[in-house]
Amino acid sequence: MELERKIARLFFTLTQLKPRWLPGKSIRISINSDPVYLKVLRAAMDEIADLAGFSRKECAKIILAVDEACSNVIRHAYHNVEGQPIYVTCRITPIKLEIVIVDLGEPADIKSIKPRPLDELRPGGLGVHIIRTVMDEVHYENLAKIGNRLIMAKFLPREEGAL
C-alpha cells in the first residue's frame, strides 16, 4: 500500500471515527472483515432495532440490510481479506434509526453501486436492492483514498393513535 494511502487511513482513524453529524449518544461497533463476526453484528443490530421500537418483522429486515452492507464491504472493499476494520455506528433519534458503516478498503465507484435487474436469474447481487428496499434513506460516500461510508436510516414506527 502506498505511503500516502497509509497516512490518509491513519489520519481518518484518529480523527474521523467520531462522526460530527451524530451528536449525543450513539452505539459504535467495530468488527473485522471475517464473515464469522457478522453473527455478532446481527445480534447487536437486533437489540438496537428492538430498542428503537421496531416490530420483529422490521427488526429482521434491518438486520438483513446491515448484514448485506457489511458482506458487500468484505467482498468488494476488502476483496475477502480478513482482519480489516468495519465500523458501524447507530443512533436512535426521535424520528429515525441512523446506521453508518465505514470501511477503510478500496474506495468504491459510487456510480456503479446499483442493484442488478431482478429478472436476472442468478445467485447473488441482491444486496443493494435489499438495502434500498428496507431502509428509508440510503447514501453512499467514497472517502477518496481512505475508504467508504454508507449512511442508512429507517424512520421509527408511529405509535398507535399518533397523527
Would you say residue 22 has pLDDT above 50? no
What pLDDT, on the 0 to 100 scale, is given for residue 8? 64
Would you say residue 21 has pLDDT above 80? no
pLDDT above 70 covers what percent of the chain? 71
**pTM, rounded to two decimals:** 0.80
Tell me the one-letter amino acid at 1: M
Cell numbers at 65, concatenated: 440490510
Q: Which domains does the chain have, with CATH numbers?
A: 3-14+25-155 (3.30.565.10)
- Strands of the sheet with 27-32, listed across from one edge: 27-32, 85-92, 96-103, 148-155, 137-142
Distance CA 163, CA 107 (A): 42
pLDDT in tens, 86-140: 999 999 998 999 999 999 998 876 666 555 555 555 545 667 888 999 999 999 9
